[in-house]
Structure 1
């Protein structure tokens, strides 16, 4: 029996109407609740469908079975809302078979059609899979349409057989079914939106802790809500005042003339849990907590109240929220200005970043559709808001500043869908964090927080910028201009050679292409430009070019198929009647919707970036610095390239002996409960389960075994030279430790090398590995690191002694897609060495792809896999061969990132 089977399972989840439920196993203490569910909370008709009859003993028998002494093969989960049991689902092994379980389900009459049954089955499927169940079976009456519909909508394959008025349903659950994941995602999105409505579209708001003191946070937010034109009811709550800032004040939530949808808490930290509980008892559905500095027990009590009473929570330590939809017009934040209405969804963890973003969006005239300062992010997250913006009908651009991720893989899945509808931009904060110094493998050393976040953003199609300024610069372009073609060929046009050269350099630095212009296009440009103009790239119109010439030049370039984007640089001059500003006016009068994006650089512009309105509609982004414009164009090129890719499909899973691999892992962790490094023999066995390429290796524990292994290698045809490697469990890098001898021939050399190791390392050494010398090739490394937050990260790069020096690596989060397998190879700087583009023969790239797919499968199958490091892998035209590998295991449980559950922050968890 795996340790996973003994792990208690519980999850806080959202029902379809946004209500919070707790799903957990049933136990002896739940006997009365289970009996009441079946006997009191279900009608006679419901009991008849559940038990195929109307026996009065059935509810008691059900409670005895589900809550009595433990029964092998029985798994029962209950759904609780505000402390009351509203549904249960159970499955039990059929006829002694461990892979098939019979399913039963019961939901209280007043909680049917709220998604209780579906959520219970989803979670039952998750736990059953962990316990080795591969099929659920259920017998239902033909007239039980609700249960039949539940199975139909579940998203899993369903097989039905009708006989004598009963339908036997069989549901295979051993497939990694993408259709099921999509169905779960859609149900989660529906529940999320329902739960967030009270927060982002409230009909009434109460400010709890609004003070009479000028300058206080509560008073400021109360005033902004009223002055912002909130369309609903607004109430102040303060037991020591009758009126605040022109609003009537009430002593408590319970004294209000109605139940507010949203309560804004601006009370001292110690008072937050009590205020939250009072709101929950009154029926409030959403909390915005502005207060900071909550102690751990206060934080836990706050979240407990929110979950118990089905309230969504923003904060604590939040700047506030804003909803600019004219039907709502809610500005419940204490920034210095009112957010400009617009179409950008903005979510930040830092209030200061939020203020800066709102101000800069106002400069651009973009404005916000909704704004949420997440603060300490105890509940509502960036993932929730992406789902909201996806369907709110007002948002066409999302801007995020996230300092942490609760469920990165769920966030990635949502973002992959949303980014195909509109751009999602983020600031990649925290890049300066030191790498994992002293990491025990090259793979672990490569898996820094920055690398991991970049992998998440790249796979999800998120545009990751390095600063707030860069985020705003990029938003200005993406909001106002079409995307370039994915190849990203840019033509720079300037009326002064110097700034044109600077712009060209900036484009090259940003990774953009500046191709030489075709002869026909160059000739056409020279025909419309003054004498002396340079029709290369950059195009120098000279200071003598008048606005009409610049416009004609721009129109020629925009129509030519060789041009993907235009960067127009204008410098004020005293020539051509002047001036760059007139040239800009000419561009404004040009086509409002060009085929290619156009960005302008004005050397005398006072603000970093702004929008210039076009006469026929639309806007031009204008920058003060050519480097800013080039970065924005590069991000637009990357987004175009990502959209041009086919929708990601999972990498074809290689054949694997998963059962043997899991048994090997369980056996090792049973003998080493704290985990550790596998010895070379077990390492080879585990890699073999996934078909990962390793050379012939023999593990020897003493000198006699070393010599016997050497003779065996010779009898197998490996009569060349031999490599001998000393081994001990905490070994970091063999070469640096001097624990490798290569090119050994004959027993005398092998014996001498082993004795040298034994003398040098003594009792520290556990043994040695013998391998035939591998033919030369390109040395690579490939491996996996299991990140506690992000999950498994697969790394590919140059290996051997060059691994740390050259730092040429690519990384993606598992499970990999087919596209990941291709781009992980192509984006390496050393890719030409693999493909033969550097002049040598092409190496076996297909074998590299298979190895990456095998590592991804192994990491996904085995959550206990903390590190796997294959280095070096020798790549040759005829294949790929690993000559060294290290694997470390830790006692960890599988976490299904697609299972619907609310995140509980570490500071609020029970220990």
Structure 2
């Protein structure tokens, strides 16, 4: 493909030109960065080393002169050293280089041309791509193009054009497989390609699939190593390294184990070597258990020796040591778990890797576990072993410099062993990428997490209703809900839910029948179910007769079913079978208490559940055994296991989690609806013009707010701006609403809560009242006020609130709920992360407590639900299009049967650049 020397169009704005690292298809780490003038010689050597065939594919002729010209052209346009620009600000040109261990392996470049665009309003750029011969078929070219596409979007480029020889099948396949819309036009022996840069779902799915392949390949040396070395294995008891080495030796690891200790010949019977370089072979995995000040040097030594993965259990690294550790990993392509972690384990047959310093070996099983806290990790390992679930693999992420929960989800998705994923994450590096991965993985296996940090205080200096409502807890819960993750409040609750999801089929609804041998216990269980959001429907007349026929005299067959203390094992089994087979309920909860009746001991009655017939397999059944000591355990059954809880509340919580998972799985994946009448270029122009005048950012004026909302078709109440009493009177006459009434709202930069400041007047009628209201505002706020907003008095309706806040980590969060002056007091809000799908919008509208009012509860009739959905979707699109949007606050939004209208809007912008959360790149230290 060719570059272009045509004159450039005005250069679009650039993004940060810093280097980043990413994974090729085989798991190899490469470095991608912007080109600089001093890269000329390296680029020329890259071209000169290419075979004549690839040189012809690149330049259409196998001429060394073409390579010289291409390298010289890059020298004149690339950014100088120290610049964060790629040069696009000056010439519309950008070049990205791919490097491996300091050597150049590929280049991708584009130049905005003056050629006619393939479609009106498009900004096109001519691109060129070259990869060193020995790096072909490893995904280097595709990865470079993905980064070039992301950079081009940020620069305002909407399409790439490229020319290729028709026989250059490899590069044509690269374009075809990108996932972007590509058109081809054959001209003789050449092909003209036009690639649209829209970030469609198809493109994101393609990027995701490539990332998954690369990620899993890079994790194999970490989780399935054939050899391990422990560096820092002490000769005296009590050292962490010695404990890891002991667990490797006694845990049944199938590969070779080495130790590095310059002061000992052997440690725990393992021959010790004085240094990494003296090892007889290159190990796949190195465990670093050395003092913090030695970590960077040891990591560098491992990298140079060829080690492919590090597990760093060392703690206490300062910023420089942290940077040195990660730099060594990135430079030499090693994946890193930790530092400051408990270790990792893989119980798969043929692996049996226990590289932890836990007291006991993890029990083999099917739960994948990733934690940041070592203490939580030990608790989960113990709990899963006690349940008999066990673990497939366990990774203590510690300070999480590199390997994250996102990596582990992708590993578990395809490892062939894991059936349940348990996460305890205290932070998220890339929540939106995590959300995409989780949405996909959780359709295959349940993902459970402890929602850590729920008591974090809300934003103390919240400047708007939106910011005040958007606590970190709400943001995390929105992420979990949208991704289908089961979020619990404690490790105990996590294990309770895991026990049920591991052992029982999912309920198809929320209807539960409670069966008990003690009426009081049944009442407690019924209360627990109701509090958990489960329903206890009355049993049908025919089912009541069937159940009573199976039970002793004196039994009652309402719901709960009181089987009495005299019930036998056979009678209880028959009762549960008939309820389960009736189709009247989705789950059966059996609550048993010890009594003096011999036939009713807990162990005997529990057999009615564990020795159930095969025909009950498709119904969710759980038990509560009041006298058991464990919070939850799994009772062995003829087929599988049955979860037994010590209290009804625990069982009800677990059932509620299972119901929610079943509901989430039953709903098809949401889609982001297409929107009409959206003018993104004008919106960006408004934002950029404001930030040009206000480089530090700030709150938009009424006119700018109205224009931004108009760009997205968000309906607003008519308004006028008035700076004098006469202007206000004229505007009021023109805009007066029902009964001739108007509203005056004072405005000055920074005014947020007009009602609290008493900076507005309502129900104004006639010229004299309008003028008096203006004078009052002017008298009280004249030293601040820049003018007033005049609006007609709106008709009565339901006052709602809609807003967006841009979270620096999670991205834009859309909030919705009850509005008006009491919105913060009542706190009736729901939240979802943008971009919103149709399902997200439905959840937003139905989640608040005020939702019944929107559907006509109370006699007012349903509001314009379609209009409300559109408003939320358009607000989401606004937030996605403008990374500068810090806050948007629409309050109140008036909802009536015929229309939904924003009565007041406040928008704050900050000088932020776009960030592509789906770009394939490895984590960087903040």
Distance in 2 between residues matched to 1:405 and 1:7, nearest whole Å: 22
Does residue 87 of structure 1 match 2:106? yes
Q: Cα gap change, 1:681/1:583 in structure 2, threshold over 3 Å: closer, same or farther?
A: same
Distance in 1 between residues matched to 2:545 and 2:12, nearest whole Å: 75
Q: Cα gap change, 1:609/1:6 in structure 2, threshold over 3 Å: closer, same or farther?
A: closer
1:10 to 12, 16, 19: 19
Give the aligned partner of residue 668 of structure 1: 690
Does residue 482 of structure 1 match 2:501? no
1:433 to 452, 456, 469: 456
* 1:764 CA drift (Å): 1.6
Distance in 2 between residues matched to 1:704 and 1:301, nearest whole Å: 68
* 1:9 CA drift (Å): 4.8
| Cα deviations by residue, 1:605-659 (Å, 9 ceiling, x for unpaired) | 0111101101x22000011111000000000000000001011211333431111
Work out the number of aligned pairs and report it.
900
Give the aligned partner of residue 551 of structure 1: 573
* 1:83 CA drift (Å): 1.2
Does residue 344 of structure 1 match 2:362? no
Does residue 792 of structure 1 match 2:812? yes
Greater mean deviation of Cα atoms: 455-464 or 831-840: 831-840
| Cα deviations by residue, 1:309-333 (Å, 9 ceiling, x for unpaired) | 1010111101000000121111000
Structure 2 contact 569–599 (Cα < 8 Å) conserved = no
* 1:132 CA drift (Å): 2.1
Secondary structure of the equivalent of 1:421?
coil
Does residue 566 of structure 1 match 2:588? yes
Secondary structure of the equivalent of 1:611?
strand
1:58 to 47, 55, 66: 66
Does residue 854 of structure 1 match 2:880? no
Q: How high is the TM-score relative to the length of structure 1? A: 0.97
2:35 to 14, 26, 46: 26
Distance in 2 between residues matched to 1:864 and 1:305, nearest whole Å: 35
* CA-atom RMSD in angstroms: 1.4
* 1:703 CA drift (Å): 3.0
Structure 2 contact 801–891 (Cα < 8 Å) conserved = yes
1:813 to 820, 833, 842: 833
Distance in 1 between residues matched to 2:499 and 2:190, nearest whole Å: 62
Give the aligned partner of residue 237 of structure 1: 260
2:96 to 66, 69, 77: 77
Give the aligned partner of residue 207 of structure 1: 230
Structure 1 contact 654–854 (Cα < 8 Å) conserved = no
Structure 1 contact 785–792 (Cα < 8 Å) conserved = yes
1:468 to 475, 491, 495: 491
Give the aligned partner of residue 131 of structure 2: 107
Structure 2 contact 384–495 (Cα < 8 Å) conserved = yes
Give the aligned partner of residue 119 of structure 1: 143
- After superposition, residues 715-754 of structure 1 pair within 5 angstroms as 720-754=740-774
Secondary structure of the equivalent of 2:515?
strand
Secondary structure of the equivalent of 2:40?
helix
Distance in 1 between residues matched to 2:559 and 2:359, nearest whole Å: 45
| Cα deviations by residue, 1:705-758 (Å, 9 ceiling, x for unpaired) | 3233224435xx877111001112112311011111101122222222122112
Secondary structure of the equivalent of 1:577?
helix
Secondary structure of the equivalent of 2:370?
strand
Structure 1 contact 27–68 (Cα < 8 Å) conserved = no
* 1:3 CA drift (Å): 8.1
1:281 to 295, 298, 304: 304
* 1:335 CA drift (Å): 1.1
| Cα deviations by residue, 1:188-240 (Å, 9 ceiling, x for unpaired) | 00000010000000011011111112010000001100110111111001111
* 1:11 CA drift (Å): 2.5
* 1:464 CA drift (Å): 0.2
* 1:6 CA drift (Å): 5.5
Q: Cα gap change, 1:589/1:669 in structure 2, threshold over 3 Å: closer, same or farther?
A: same
- After superposition, residues 345-744 of structure 1 pair within 5 angstroms as 345-485=368-508, 487-575=509-597, 577-592=599-614, 594-614=617-637, 616-713=638-735, 720-744=740-764
Q: Cα gap change, 1:8/1:378 in structure 2, threshold over 3 Å: closer, same or farther?
A: same
Give the aligned partner of residue 262 of structure 1: 285
Distance in 2 between residues matched to 1:368 and 1:7, nearest whole Å: 42
Structure 2 contact 740–766 (Cα < 8 Å) conserved = no
Distance in 2 between residues matched to 1:705 and 1:681, nearest whole Å: 16
Greater mean deviation of Cα atoms: 661-670 or 571-580: 571-580
Secondary structure of the equivalent of 2:745?
strand
Secondary structure of the equivalent of 1:57?
helix
Greater mean deviation of Cα atoms: 237-246 or 181-190: 237-246
Distance in 2 between residues matched to 1:726 and 1:3, nearest whole Å: 38
Structure 2 contact 855–861 (Cα < 8 Å) conserved = yes
Distance in 2 between residues matched to 1:357 and 1:655, nearest whole Å: 52
Distance in 2 between residues matched to 1:144 and 1:112, nearest whole Å: 13
Give the aligned partner of residue 5 of structure 2: none
Secondary structure of the equivalent of 1:240?
coil
| Cα deviations by residue, 1:501-545 (Å, 9 ceiling, x for unpaired) | 111100011010111111111111111111111101111001011
Structure 1 contact 651–821 (Cα < 8 Å) conserved = no
* 1:144 CA drift (Å): 1.3
Distance in 1 between residues matched to 2:396 and 2:724, nearest whole Å: 63
Distance in 1 between residues matched to 2:898 and 2:53, nearest whole Å: 69
Structure 1 contact 652–818 (Cα < 8 Å) conserved = no
| Cα deviations by residue, 1:19-72 (Å, 9 ceiling, x for unpaired) | 1111111111211111111112x1222111111112222222111111214562
Does residue 134 of structure 1 match 2:158? yes
Structure 1 contact 608–625 (Cα < 8 Å) conserved = yes
Give the aligned partner of residue 879 of structure 1: 899
Distance in 1 between residues matched to 2:429 and 2:640, nearest whole Å: 38
| Cα deviations by residue, 1:97-133 (Å, 9 ceiling, x for unpaired) | 5711111110011111111100111111111122222
Distance in 1 between residues matched to 2:528 and 2:430, nearest whole Å: 37
Secondary structure of the equivalent of 2:400?
coil
Greater mean deviation of Cα atoms: 815-824 or 624-633: 815-824
Structure 1 contact 224–331 (Cα < 8 Å) conserved = yes
Q: Cα gap change, 1:745/1:2 in structure 2, threshold over 3 Å: closer, same or farther?
A: farther
* 1:578 CA drift (Å): 3.3
Distance in 1 between residues matched to 2:199 and 2:600, nearest whole Å: 66
Does residue 823 of structure 1 match 2:843? yes
Distance in 2 between residues matched to 1:701 and 1:625, nearest whole Å: 67
Greater mean deviation of Cα atoms: 472-481 or 648-657: 648-657
Greater mean deviation of Cα atoms: 540-549 or 91-100: 91-100
- After superposition, residues 107-186 of structure 1 pair within 5 angstroms as 107-173=131-197, 175-186=198-209
Distance in 1 between residues matched to 2:862 and 2:684, nearest whole Å: 36
Secondary structure of the equivalent of 1:305?
helix
| Cα deviations by residue, 1:337-364 (Å, 9 ceiling, x for unpaired) | 1000000000000000000000000010
Greater mean deviation of Cα atoms: 644-653 or 96-105: 96-105
* 1:768 CA drift (Å): 1.1
Greater mean deviation of Cα atoms: 20-29 or 535-544: 20-29
Structure 1 contact 495–542 (Cα < 8 Å) conserved = yes
Secondary structure of the equivalent of 1:138?
strand
Distance in 1 between residues matched to 2:15 and 2:881, nearest whole Å: 19
* 1:93 CA drift (Å): 2.2
Structure 1 contact 210–219 (Cα < 8 Å) conserved = yes
| Cα deviations by residue, 1:268-317 (Å, 9 ceiling, x for unpaired) | 00000001000110111110000111100110111111111101011110
Give the aligned partner of residue 909 of structure 1: none
* 1:438 CA drift (Å): 4.0
Distance in 1 between residues matched to 2:667 and 2:312, nearest whole Å: 42
Greater mean deviation of Cα atoms: 414-423 or 236-245: 236-245
Greater mean deviation of Cα atoms: 730-739 or 351-360: 730-739
Q: Which runs of 5+ in 1 are unaligned?
A: 907-911
Secondary structure of the equivalent of 1:763?
coil
Distance in 2 between residues matched to 1:719 and 1:627, nearest whole Å: 56
